[in-house]
Chains A and B, each alone.
Chain A
Amino acid sequence: MLSIDKYAYNNLLAKWRPEVKGLLWLFGMIIAFQPIMVIKLIAIPTVAIATMWAVKVNFHQYLKWFYAVIPFIALSIIGIAVTLAPRADQVYGGIYMFGNYLGVAKSMLPLAEQLTLRITTAIVCTYWFALTTPFQQIILLFKHMHFPSLLIEETLLMYRFIFIFVDSFEQIYRAQQLRFGYANLRLSMHSAGILVKMLFEQVIINYQKMVYSLDAKLFTGEFTVQEDKI
């Protein structure tokens, strides 16, 4: 299960108006993309602490949520900073290969630093928004901002069914694991193939069942999103 979603419903800011949270997030994005570095350096710990306070998690747990994005950030930073240069003094820690020096480019380093700060600020702010805003509020915010209804419906259904999908994935994976399906690399490849195939088959079967129940609920082709009145 995607437990990260639970925090959005049970946090100190859950009842705040989504517009306020949306504006604060936008403000965070502006900070992330403006040029003054010091503001970002202040914003990152401030927002991080605010998130941990509102969501009531410790630093260790908070850091764990970054594991998912760190590989992507690392890859893009490495791609920018590490380079092949013809002269040794153009790079830090140069290794001589193929007549060039492989290392961190001196000219690119400031850019890499800027980028790291910008990305981190943006992620910290987005985590704050995602962790404090229940999905329902995000949809209402979209609606207030007059997003196209196709996009809203798509988001709505994806959110609902991603949990079912992750659940099926976990069930199949666990069953395979219990029967030693991932004991070595060769078996793992094979099991992963079966897993994907089974998920695909389930999607088709579930699709048919969903069509039936949409029929039973007199589906007209539109998923309505309503303000909170009930």
Chain B
Amino acid sequence: MIELEHVNFAYEDQPILKDISIKLGEEGQNVIGLIGQNGSGKSTMFLNLVGILQPTSGAIRIDGNTYQYDKKSLNELRQKVGIVFQDSEQQLFYSIVKDDVAFALHNLGLPEDEIVRRVREVLTQLDILQLKDRPIQYLSGGQKKRVAIAGILALHSEWLLLDEPTAGLDPDGTRRMIDLIEGLSKNGQKILISSHDMDFMYEIGDYFYLLQKGEIVRQGTSETVFADDEILKQCCLDQPWLMQLHQKLGLPLYSSKAQLFTDEQLITRLATLK
């Protein structure tokens, strides 16, 4: 569990995170969403969570231990908390897919056969084994994103932080991202996602934090966070369309598109309208 206690972060006297106290990863919360508009402090919070930035005041704890910022502690922290940044280009250093995925494992100094095993495993898991020998510069945006995620997943970290994972992806890429996150979470992976893609977040998240100008203004499950249209508007965000169907058309609240389109009762009732 990651706990933030009265965390403040300021950049050149400009407060970016204000008095944030939350507990990430409580029972039943595998996929946690951090929602907020551009500039609300999501990325800064992520950088604080992986120890790249240090809070101006307050403390962050993982499994009860307060973050230490010496090299050794940070190394241990980053094996527990992996982060995939929004821009794939800046985090792929090798020219061939498999080399890049193996990069962090080499840095850890793992034995060669363990590295081979893990790279194959993670490439298979992300369905990109066929890309293993391909040069990175010729991959599509979605494929690059997968390679970037593979490079971090291979670390087997307890936490996976995804910064805007659907930014720049086409509908197919987004669908694959949803499947991937669901698959990972089923295996017990703890995932923290920052995004303002509301429909995407609504479908995959278990618990949400709404961030506005560096403050957590609302938290809870999808029913509580997305139900308040007013506060979402204040945060310059939209209500997910499934929530809108529920609130504005009086339909039941569906947790996913698939659930809506397979609701036999609804289909029969709609048929009588014709």
Contacts and interface: CB of A to CB of B under 8 A. Distances in A.
Interface of A: 1, 5-6, 9, 134-136, 156-157, 159-160, 163-164, 206, 209-210, 212-220, 223-226, 229-230
B218 to A, nearest CB: 29
Interface of B: 47, 50, 52, 74-75, 78-79, 82-83, 85, 87, 89-96, 98-99, 102-104, 106-108, 112, 116, 119-120, 132-133, 135-138, 151-152, 155
B91 A229 contact: no
A212 B135 CA distance: 23
A193 B75 CA distance: 42
A9 B90 CA distance: 23
Binding site of B, secondary structure by majority: helix, strand, loop or mixed?
helix
Contacts of B94: 156, 160, 223
Contacts, number: 88
B95 A219 contact: no
Given A217-B107, A218-B78, A226 B102 contact: yes
B136 A216 contact: no
A209 B85 contact: yes
A31 B104 CA distance: 44
Nearest to B117: A230
B50 A218 contact: no
Given A156-B93, A157-B93, 11 more contacts: A5-B137, A135-B95, A159-B95, A160-B93, A210-B93, A217-B107, A218-B78, A219-B107, A223-B94, A224-B106, A230-B119
Nearest to B112: A229
B104 A217 contact: yes
Contact of B120 (A6, A206, A230): A230
Given A136-B95, A160-B92, A216 B138 contact: no
B112 to A, nearest CB: 7
Contacts of B138: 6
Contacts of A214: 93
